[in-house]
Amino acid sequence: MQRRRGQQLEAALLDAAWAELCERGWAGFALDSVARRAGTSTPVIYRRWSGRAGLVEAAVIHAAEDRPVELPDTGSLRDDLITVMRESNGARVALIASSAALLGGYFEETGTNLAELRDRILDDRHSMAETLLARAVERGEVDAGVLTPRLTSLAFDLFRHEVLTTLRPVGEDTILEIVDDIVLPLLTRRGG
């Protein structure tokens, strides 16, 4: 077995866990297989995670962190939203689609869902949508009075829904429809 410690060992375990999950899904996911793939032992895994669910969650978070989407600042909300969606097509679509497909049993067994896992991935950080909208409010593009949690996440919720229903990247026409025909008209109306 290869001797690694700290972050190097943890990264190897998370990479191995993600690979196992992608190959076998939740139903076939086994800690001993992850340990073999990572070149270590099962007790090493248990020192870091309490079991399969914790390791899978950490592996999904690790996979998301390995596929970052940069926060743009183009000077306009429209261009920022379109840029994020285009970048997400390349960086995150496969992750979103595979997570939904591979984790059905995980969600059932843990009593959680994709939205809760997404929240864990985001942790306590400001979401990208909140940051983009805060900038738009500062620039006077959006009236803060119209913002609700649902409206704040709408653009990315529609994008994610498209990915989950088609299991492929979102087309340019659909991105423009989401931004120009649905989201911006709602965000740019004046609050009461």
Range of the domain at 128: 72-187
Q: What's the mean pLDDT in 114-127?
A: 68
d(CA 147, CA 187): 7
Integer angstrom CA distances of residue 83 from 9, 90, 94:
35, 11, 18
Report the chain's mean pLDDT, rounded to a whole number: 88
Among residues 22, 46, 64, the one where a domain terminates is 64
Q: What's the mean pLDDT in 134-146?
A: 96
Q: Return the pLDDT at 2.
A: 54
User: Considering the chain, what percentage of its residues have pLDDT values greater than 90?
Assistant: 56
Q: What's the mean pLDDT in 16-40?
A: 92
Indicate whether 133 and 91 sit together in one domain: yes
pLDDT at 16 over 90: yes
Q: Return the pLDDT at 191.
A: 62
Q: What's the mean pLDDT in 29-49?
A: 94
Q: Return the pLDDT at 124.
A: 43
pLDDT in tens, 151-170: 999 999 999 899 888 888 99
Indicate whether 42 and 96 sit together in one domain: no
Q: Using pLDDT thresholds of 50, 70 and 90, give the confidence band for residue 126.
A: low
Q: Is residue 155 part of a domain?
A: yes
Q: What's the mean pLDDT in 118-146?
A: 84
Indicate whether 151 and 82 sit together in one domain: yes
Indicate whether 59 and 137 sit together in one domain: no
Judging by beta carbons within 10 Å of its beta carbon (0-12, 13-18, 19+), is residue 191 exposed, middle or buried? exposed
Indicate whether 46 and 141 sit together in one domain: no
d(CA 189, CA 77): 14
Q: Using pLDDT thresholds of 50, 70 and 90, give the confidence band for residue 94.
A: confident
pTM over 0.85: no
Indicate whether 151 and 116 sit together in one domain: yes
CATH number at residue 13: 1.10.10.60
What total number of domains does the chain contain?
2
Indicate whether 92 and 151 sit together in one domain: yes
Indicate whether 54 and 90 sit together in one domain: no
Q: What's the mean pLDDT in 7-33?
A: 92
Indicate whether 22 and 53 sit together in one domain: yes
| CA proximity to 182, closest of 85, 67, 107, 44 | 85
Tokens of 147: 């913002």
d(CA 192, CA 190): 7
Residue showing tokens 């409010």: 137
Q: What's the mean pLDDT in 17-40?
A: 92
Q: Is residue 192 part of a domain?
A: no
Tokens of 85: 């969606």
Tokens of 137: 């409010």
Indicate whether 119 and 181 sit together in one domain: yes
Q: Return the pLDDT at 22.
A: 86
Q: Is residue 179 part of a domain?
A: yes
